[in-house]
Amino acid sequence: MNIGELLKLSFRSLQSNLLRSFLTMLGIMIGVATVIAMISIGQGTNNQVTSQIQSLGSNLITVTASSSGQSGAGGGSEGTLTLEDAEPISKISTVKYVAPVMQASTSFKNGANITSTSIIGTTPSYADIKSWETDIGRFFTEDEVTDKAKVVVLGASTAENLFGKAGFDAIGSIVKINNIPFRVIGVLKSKGSSGTTDLDDTAISPITTVQARFQAGGSKNSIRQILVEAKNPNTIQSTMALMEYTMRQSHKLGNGEDDFKVQSQEDVLSSAESVTKTLTLFLGGVAAISLLVGGIGIMNIMLVSVTERTREIGTRKAIGAKEGTILSQFLVESVTLAILGGIIGVLLGFGGSKLVGNMMSIKTAISMNSVLLAVGFSACIGIIFGVFPARKAAKLDPIEALRYE
Amino acid sequence: MITFDNVDKIYASGEMRVHALKGVTLHIEEREFVSIMGPSGSGKSTMMNVIGCLDKPSSGMYTLDGTVIGTATAKQLSEVRNQKIGFVFQNFNLLKRTSAIENVELPMLYAGKSKKQRRERAEYCLELVGLKDRMHHKPNELSGGQQQRVAIARALSNDPSIILADEPTGNLDSASSEEIMGIFKQLNNNGNTIVIVTHEPEIAVHTHRIIWFRDGKIESDRLNTGRVSV
């Protein structure tokens, strides 16, 4: 008997008991669906995080406060990182740009148009580090930072929210930020969105102004982070070491007393990746257990099926079916069950991940590898848990089997 | 065709030893039409299993169509059953949810014949038993007599050396029984060797030779002179 005839035979037998076949597949289906959904959601999230981190800029090093376990907390928190820390770092020879950054949640008002966005307080270098360019108008200057000038550069989305599509009349207009009048001096070129985050929903002002006007409570002087761009990717490591040294000097710290954290973009990336790796491993474990349970379900049903079909097996053997033929008949049946379950599981998993992806607006990634792995693994489950029942069928004594009621 | 030379069959399960066949010596020629009779426990079922190569003799020699069965492996026995023996069972043993013609094709499928060969031969065999017009019916759409006729067509499909029938009319009413025996007779006239195991004298009278078993031995072996014709 060739494989086509065996497949036909197994489909007929599975068809003859549709409900049971379906219930048997359910274990594998759920297992595979879970794996596929989780992997594609996980990978989607991973891609999103990676692209967000990469969009931060190149050769980027960040300094955040890390005393009392808080790293890079919001502008109003008790922080040890201050505006003054930026100055010595900018003197390091391998540093190209330094931009101290703080952030505050604010509401913007232009006549009847109101929008809320977080305002970023920084220095002109920020535009260079983040490769922000102005679409119209200009970025603010060092003098305006020194003067605590009430000027603001709007992101494309923020400008649109306040001034409508064109936005040209925005330049020179006065908008009220938390009821304080600011002059709009520029609108940034659109950067689009990265995952769920609209990069254009932003506004940038001199850091001194933001500190003076919007710093809520706490230490008046603390900032969120210092962004540093190294001149050369090869000098990132040495630059980081120098920065740490400089910070310890200016904070008068001994070894192991660091109240700050210096991280390169790669550090951030790899820590994000290690999180997703752990998650993937954990999901793999869950999947393995559910597939194991599914496999046991298949074995159980195949054993029942062998018992039920004892007479059929006896008849087949009497008219000349060899042990190998009977073995492959039942094996093909269990593998068919497992693979069908796997395929339905893959489809369900994709459906589920698309659904979840749409709800959470994550672009779920579908990898061919995970599909092949899931289907291949199901096939293995079918073989492993099908061999025992199939052998039992093949070894039946035809005389006993024919006599079986 | 069939030669038994001092064949013994002993079943041992635990302490129990059942001597089912005791020194059976027998010869059945080609084209013979034989019935094997005897009360239950006489050894006729064992005899049928051994002739049918479902079981091997414990000692003695059984030769079927020139093949010595005693030394054959399980795989070889499967081949012998497939090629040389056509089984007809008391309860038909057709595969459910499988059409008549596919049931008839099954032995040829195991023999590795092509689809075309199988289809042609199966149609021919069904025609022989007068069921060509029902070849696409499933067993549950056929009467008992018709099902047994499909089973006979299946037994014929690989052109076996012998047709071995175990109580072939045991589940049939008398009209269907006569019909089935008529088919066996016709097949015998066409040159087929037929061995029927039965405990019903009404069936045995149709055959040419009646072998009577008792206590694992042949009690009598005689030609049937008072044959009835259908």
CB-CB under 8 Å, A320 with B78 = yes
Q: What is the pLDDT of residue A167?
A: 61
Count of domains observed in chain B: 1
- What rounded mean pLDDT belongs to chain A? 85
CB-CB under 8 Å, B89 with A402 = yes
DSSP class of residue A82 equals B
Which residue of B lies nearest to A14 if distances are taken between CA atoms?
Answer: B97
Q: How confident is the model at residue B132 (pLDDT cuts 50, 70, 90)?
A: very high
Percent of chain A with pLDDT over 90: 36
Which residue of A lies nearest to B85 if distances are taken between CA atoms?
Answer: A319
For residue B120, what are its two tokens? 């042609």
Closest in B55, B74, B81 to A323, CB measured: B74
CB-CB under 8 Å, A402 with B95 = no
CB neighbour list of residue B10: distance below 8 Å, 6 or more residues apart: B17, B18, B19, B20, B58
Q: Residue A70 above 60 pLDDT?
A: no
First to last CA, chain A: 28
Residues of chain B positioned with their CB less than 8 A from the CB of A315? 89, 93, 95
CB-CB under 8 Å, B78 with A399 = no
Q: How confident is the model at residue A284 (pLDDT cuts 50, 70, 90)?
A: confident
Which residue of A lies nearest to B103 if distances are taken between CA atoms?
Answer: A316
Ramachandran angles phi, psi of B22, nearest 5°: -125, 100
Which residue of B lies nearest to A395 if distances are taken between CA atoms?
Answer: B74
Which residue of B lies nearest to A317 if distances are taken between CA atoms?
Answer: B78
Alpha-carbon distance of B101 to B126, in angstroms, equals: 8
- What rounded mean pLDDT belongs to chain B? 93
- Mean pLDDT calculated for residue range A216-220: 62
Distance from CA of B220 to the nearest CA of A (A): 26
CB-CB under 8 Å, B75 with A318 = no
Q: Could you write out the three-class secondary structure of B163-177?
A: EEEECCCCCCCHHHH
Identify whether the C-beta of residue A194 lies closer than 8 Å to the C-beta of residue A150.
Answer: no
Residue of B48, B54, B152, B157 to mutate for A, most A C-beta atoms under 10 A: B54
- Provide the whole-model pTM: 0.72
Q: Residue B216 maps to which CATH number?
A: 3.40.50.300
* Domain presence at residue B230: no
Identify whether the C-beta of residue B188 lies closer than 8 Å to the C-beta of residue B30.
Answer: no
- Mean pLDDT calculated for residue range A344-357: 88
Closest in A5, A311, A399 to B93, CB measured: A311
Q: How confident is the model at residue B160 (pLDDT cuts 50, 70, 90)?
A: very high
CB-CB under 8 Å, A16 with B110 = no
CB-CB under 8 Å, B82 with A319 = yes
What residues make up the domain containing B210?
A: 2-223
Identify whether the C-beta of residue A111 lies closer than 8 Å to the C-beta of residue A163.
Answer: no
Alpha-carbon distance of B204 to B221, in angstroms, equals: 12
Which residue of B lies nearest to A314 if distances are taken between CA atoms?
Answer: B93
User: What pLDDT digit, counting tens, does each position of B52-75 carry?
Assistant: 999 999 999 999 998 899 888 999
User: What pLDDT digit, counting tens, does each position of A237-275 carry?
Assistant: 888 888 888 888 888 887 777 788 888 887 877 877 788
User: What pLDDT digit, counting tens, does each position of A353-378 carry?
Assistant: 888 888 877 777 777 888 888 889 89
**Burial label, A236 (beta-carbon count in 10 A; 0-12, 13-18, 19+):** buried
Domain ranges of chain A: 3-52+271-403, 67-258
CB-CB under 8 Å, B87 with A319 = yes
ipTM comes to 0.93
User: What pLDDT digit, counting tens, does each position of B188-216 carry?
Assistant: 999 999 999 999 999 999 999 999 999 99
User: What pLDDT digit, counting tens, does each position of A80-120 carry?
Assistant: 788 888 888 888 888 999 999 998 889 999 888 899 998 99
* Domain presence at residue B92: yes
CB neighbour list of residue A210: distance below 8 Å, 6 or more residues apart: A75, A102, A104, A119, A120, A121
CB neighbour list of residue A132: distance below 8 Å, 6 or more residues apart: A126, A139, A188, A189, A191, A204
For residue B101, what are its two tokens? 């013609």
* Domain presence at residue B107: yes
Q: Does B25 touch chain A (CB under 8 A)?
A: no
Residue A381 exposure: Cα atoms within 13 Å on the Cβ side: 34
Q: Residue B113 above 50 pLDDT?
A: yes
Residue of B49, B89, B109, B163 to mutate for A, most A C-beta atoms under 10 A: B109
Pick the closest to residue B167 from B52, B20, B81, B45 (CA basis): B45
Q: What is the pLDDT of residue A257?
A: 76
* Domain presence at residue B229: no
Closest in B54, B106, B154 to A399, CB measured: B54
Q: What is the pLDDT of residue A121?
A: 93
